[in-house]
Homo-oligomer: A and B are copies of this chain.
Amino acid sequence: MKLYDGGRAPNPRRTRIFLAEKGIKLPTQQIDLGALEHMSASYAAINPLKRVPALVLDDGTVITESIAICRYFEALQPEPALFGRDALETARVEMWNRRLELHLLFPISHVFRNTHPAMKAMEVPQVPAWAEANKPRILDFIGIVDRELEGRPFISGDNFTVADITGLISLDFMKPAKLAVPDELKNLKRWHADLAARPSASA
Residues of chain A whose beta carbon lies under 8 Å from any beta carbon of chain B: 48-49, 57, 61, 63-65, 67-69, 71-72, 75-76, 86-88, 90-92, 94-95, 98-99, 103, 106, 125, 127, 129-130, 133, 141, 144
B residues near A86, Cβ cutoff 8 Å: 75
Chain B residues whose C-beta falls within 8 Å of the C-beta of A64 in the assembled complex: 95, 99
Residues A98 and B144 in contact in the complex (CB < 8 Å), given A49-B103, A87-B76, A90-B72: no
Q: List 13 A-B contacts (CB under 8 A).
A: A49-B141, A61-B88, A67-B98, A68-B91, A68-B95, A69-B91, A71-B94, A72-B91, A76-B87, A125-B129, A125-B133, A127-B127, A127-B130
Q: Are B63 and A92 in contact (CB under 8 A)?
A: yes
Least CB distance from A136 to B in Å reads: 10
**Minimum Cβ distance to chain B for residue A108 (Å):** 15
The 10 closest A-B pairs by CB, nearest first: A75-B87, A72-B91, A68-B95, A68-B94, A130-B130, A65-B98, A65-B95, A127-B130, A63-B91, A68-B91
